[in-house]
Amino acid sequence: MKYKPQDIEKKWQAKWDETGVFRCPDELSAPKYYCLEMFPYPSGRIHMGHVRVYTIGDLLARFKRTRGYQVFHPVGWDAFGLPAENAAVRHKTHPAKWTWENIAFMRDQLRQMGFSYDWDREIATCSPDYYRWEQLFFLWMMKDGVAYRKRATLNWCDECQTVLANEQVNRDGTCFIHDHTPVKQKELDQWFFAITRYVEELLEGHNELAGGWPENILEMQRNWIGRSEGAEIIFPLASGEGSITVFTTRPDTLYGATFMSMAPEHPMVMEFARQSGREKEVGEFVERVSRQDRETRTGEEQVKEGVFTGGYCVNPVTGSRIPVYAANFVLYEYGTGAVMAVPAHDQRDFEFARKYNLPVVVVIQPEGEPLDDATMRAAHEGPGKMIRSGEFDGADNEEGKKAVTRYLESRGSGHATVQYRLRDWGVSRQRYWGCPIPVIHCEACGIVPVPEKDLPVILPEDIPYSRERGNPLASVEEWICVPCPECGKPARRETDTFDTFVESSWYFLRYIDPKNDKAPLDPEKMRRFAPVDQYVGGVEHACMHLIYARFFHKYLRDKGLAPGNEPFLRLLSQGMVCMQTSECPKHGWRYSEEVDEKGLCRQCGEKVIVGRSMKMSKSKRNVVEPSELIARYGADTARVFVLFAAPPERDLDWSEQGVEGAFRFLSRIYRLVVQRADAVASARLAWDDSGEVRRIRQVTHQTLLKVTGDIEERFHFNTAIAAIMEMVNSLYLVEDAAWSEPATAGALKEAVEILLHMLAPFAPHIAEELWVEIGGKDLLCTRRWPEADAAVAREEQVEVPIQVNGKIRAKITVSPDASQEEVGALVMAEPRVREHLQGKTVRKTIYVPSKLFSIVAN
Partner RNA sequence: GCCCGGGUGGCGGAAUUGGCAGACGCACGGGACUUAAAAUCCCGAGGCCCUUAAAGCCGUGCGGGUUCGAUUCCCGCCCCGGGCACCA
**Interacting residues with RNA between 282 and 301 (CB under 7 A):** 297-298, 300
Answer whether the bond into residue 456 is a cis peptide, omega within 30°: yes
Produce one character per residue of 645-673: b if its CB has 16 or more CB atoms within 10 Å, e if not.
bbbbeeebebeeebbebbbebbbbbbebb
Residue type, 538: G
User: Judged by CB under 7 A, does residue 506 bind RNA?
Assistant: no
Nearer to RNA, 143 or 851 (CB): 851
Q: Measured from the CB of residue 553, what is the shortest distance to RNA in angstroms?
A: 22
Prior bond to 316 cis, omega within 30? Answer: no
Binding residue (CB under 7 A) for RNA from 290, 718, 740, 815? 718
Stretch of residues binding RNA (CB under 7 A), selected from 12-20, 182-190, 444-452, 652-660: 652-660
Which of 54, 72, 247, 498 is in the footprint of RNA by CB under 7 A? Answer: 247
**Footprint of RNA on 169-198 (CB under 7 A):** 171
Residue closer to RNA, measured from CB, 278 or 671: 671
Residues 6 or more apart whose Cβ sits within 8 Å of residue 447: 149, 439, 440, 441
DSSP string, 203-232: HHHHHHHBTTB-HHHHHHHHHHH--EEEEE
Q: How far is the CB of 60 from RNA (least distance, A)?
A: 17
Report the distance separating Cα 429 and Cα 411, nearest Å: 46
DSSP state of 462: -
Q: Convert residues 527-546 into a mask of x (bound to RNA by CB under 7 A) and - (unbound).
A: ------------x---x---
Helix, strand and coil percent figures for the chain, each rounded to 5: 40, 20, 35
* Residue 736 Cβ vs RNA, minimum distance, rounded to whole Å: 11
| 444 is an interface residue for RNA by CB under 7 A | no
Which of 825, 204, 285, 279 has the alpha carbon at shortest distance from 566?
204
570 and 218 Cβ atoms separated by less than 8 Å: no
Confirm or reject binding of residue 811 to RNA (CB under 7 A): yes
Smallest gap from Cβ 807 to RNA, in A, equals 6
Contact between 304 and RNA per CB under 7 A: yes
714 touching RNA, by CB under 7 A: yes
Among 207, 657, 838, 841, indicate the residue that binds RNA (CB under 7 A).
Answer: 657
Tell me how far apart the alpha carbons of residues 767 and 783 are, in angstroms, rounded to a whole number: 12
140-156 in b/e burial notation, b at 16+ Cβ within 10 A? bbbeeebbebeebebbb
SS3 state at 339: strand
* Residue 147 beta carbon to RNA: minimum distance, rounded to whole angstroms: 24
Please name the helix (run of DSSP H) or strand (run of DSSP E) that holds residue 478, with its range, or none: helix 477-480
Q: What single string gives the DSSP state of each residue in 696-751?
A: HHHHHHHHHHHHHHIIIII--HHHHHHHHHHHHHHHHTS-GGGGT-HHHHHHHHHH
Nearest distance from C-beta of residue 170 to RNA, angstroms: 8
Other C-beta atoms lying within 10 Å of the C-beta of residue 249: 14
* Binding track, positions 601-640, relative to RNA; x by CB under 7 A: ----------------------------------------
Residue 349 · residue 341 · CB < 8 Å = yes
Contacts with RNA by CB under 7 A: the residue count is 87
Stretch that binds RNA, among 93-101, 407-415, 658-666, 678-686 (CB under 7 A): 658-666
- Residue 664 lies near RNA (rule: CB under 7 A): yes
Pairing of the two strands 798-804 and 652-653: unpaired
CB of residue 615 to RNA, shortest distance in Å: 9
Residue 204 contacts residue 400 (beta carbons within 8 Å): no
Under the binding rule (CB under 7 A), the answer on residue 854 touching RNA is yes
Least separation in angstroms between CB 230 and RNA: 5
* Segment interacting with RNA, rule: CB under 7 A, options 143-151, 155-163, 502-510, 703-711: 703-711
Indicate whether 797 belongs to the interface with RNA (CB under 7 A).
no
Q: Please, which of residues 315-374 interact with RNA by CB under 7 A?
A: 328-331, 334-335, 337, 339-340, 346, 348
Shortest distance, position 131 Cβ to RNA, whole Å: 28
- The smaller minimum CB distance to RNA, of residues 12 and 350, is found at 350
| 483 is a contact residue toward RNA (CB under 7 A) | no
Minimum CB separation from RNA for residue 853, in Å? 9
Contacts of 310 (CB under 8 A, 6+ apart): 272, 273, 275, 276, 277, 278, 282, 324
Binding segment for RNA among 456-464, 556-564, 783-791, 793-801 (CB under 7 A)? 793-801
Residue 487 beta carbon to RNA: minimum distance, rounded to whole angstroms: 43
- Position among 653, 692, 712, 741 found at the interface with RNA (CB under 7 A): 653
In degrees and rounded to multiples of 5, residue 769 shows phi and psi of -60, -45
Closer to RNA by Cβ: residue 64 or 345: 345
271 touches RNA by CB under 7 A: no
840 scored as a contact of RNA (CB under 7 A)? no
Residue 37 pairs with which residues in a beta bridge?
536
Q: By C-beta, is 106 or 233 nearer to RNA?
A: 233
Give the residue, chosen from 791, 807, 821, 858, that forms a contact with RNA under the rule CB under 7 A: 807
Closest separation in Å from C-beta 770 to RNA? 15
- Separation between Cα atoms, residue 156 and residue 580, nearest integer Å: 35
Comparing CA positions, the residue from 305, 309, 273, 311 lying closest to residue 289 is 305
Residue 103, SS3? helix
Residues for the chain: how many in total? 858
Q: Pick between residue 252 and residue 566 the one whose CB is nearest to RNA.
A: 252
**Binding residue (CB under 7 A) for RNA from 146, 721, 767, 818:** 721
Segment 19 to 78, residues that bind RNA, using CB under 7 A: none
**Where on the phi/psi map is residue 557: left (φ > 0), alpha (ψ -120 to 50), or beta?**
alpha
We find the least distance from the C-beta atom of residue 433 to RNA, in angstroms, to be 26
Check residue 22 and report its DSSP letter. T
In sequence order, the β-bridge partners of residue 234 are 245
Q: How far is the CB of 738 from RNA (least distance, A)?
A: 14
Q: Which is nearer to RNA, 303 or 374 (CB)?
A: 303
Q: Which stretch binds RNA (CB under 7 A): 31-39, 475-483, 819-827, 850-858?
A: 850-858
Q: Is 698 in the site for RNA (CB under 7 A)?
A: no
Q: Give the shortest CB-450-to-RNA separation in angstroms.
A: 35
d(CA 176, CA 537): 19
Q: Is residue 521 within 8 Å of 140, Cβ to Cβ?
A: no
Which of 92, 180, 777, 844 binds RNA (CB under 7 A)? It is 844
- Cβ nearer to RNA, comparing 86 with 166: 166
Task: Tell me if 302 contacts RNA by CB under 7 A.
Answer: yes
Q: Indicate which single residue of 139, 376, 569, 722 sits in contact with RNA (rule: CB under 7 A).
A: 722
Nearer to RNA, 130 or 350 (CB): 350
- In the bound state with RNA, the residue whose beta carbon lies nearer, of 297 and 402, is 297
Q: What number of CA atoms fall less than 13 Å from residue 664's CA on the CB side?
A: 8
Q: Which of 671, 694, 695, 834 binds RNA (CB under 7 A)?
A: 671
Q: Which is nearer to RNA, 140 or 334 (CB)?
A: 334
CB of 411 to RNA, least distance (A): 20
Sites for RNA among residues 205-244 (CB under 7 A): 215-216, 219-220, 223-224, 226, 228, 230
Contact 810, 852 (CB under 8 A): no
Closest CA to 569 of 27, 115, 33, 29: 33
Determine if 418 is a binding residue for RNA (CB under 7 A).
Answer: no
